[in-house]
Amino acid sequence: MTPDEARTLLDTTVREIVPDADLGSLPGDADLRETFELDSLDFVELVEKLSAHAGFRIEDSDADALRTPESAVAFLVRGRRDAGS
């Protein structure tokens, strides 16, 4: 998965939970939970949906890697590559 594909995947998935979310205007280090006021259940839903859409399992222990747009994109790119090895 390329970084652009990962950004699109993240944007699409966040919009499933927060329909008016705009990742394009966020700095890469913005906290997704704070920015979109995601409670614990919302964030778990985000992780589950990302896992399903990405096509590889995202463990609960990986949740911190999804905290910001920048770290989430890096994780998705790396995770896809790791899943195929």
Q: What is the DSSP letter of 68?
A: S
Taking all residues of the chain, what is their mean pLDDT, rounded to a whole number?
90
| pLDDT grade for 80, boundaries at 50, 70 and 90 | low
d(CA 25, CA 62) in angstroms, rounded, equals 25
Report pTM: 0.87
- What is the predicted pLDDT for the residue at 14? 96
The CATH number of whichever domain residue 61 belongs to comes to 1.10.1200.10
At 82 the pLDDT is 55
Contacts of 42 (CB under 8 A, 6+ apart): 17, 36
**In the predicted model, is pLDDT for residue 34 greater than 50?**
yes
Predicted pLDDT of residue 42: 95
Model confidence at 85, pLDDT cuts 50, 70, 90, reads very low
* Residue 58 DSSP class: -
Q: How many structural domains are present in the chain? A: 1
Residues 60 and 19 sit within 8 Å (Cβ to Cβ): no
Domain that holds residue 71: 3-83
Q: Over 50: is that where the pLDDT of 1 sits?
A: yes
- Residue 43: count of CB within 10 angstroms of its CB: 17
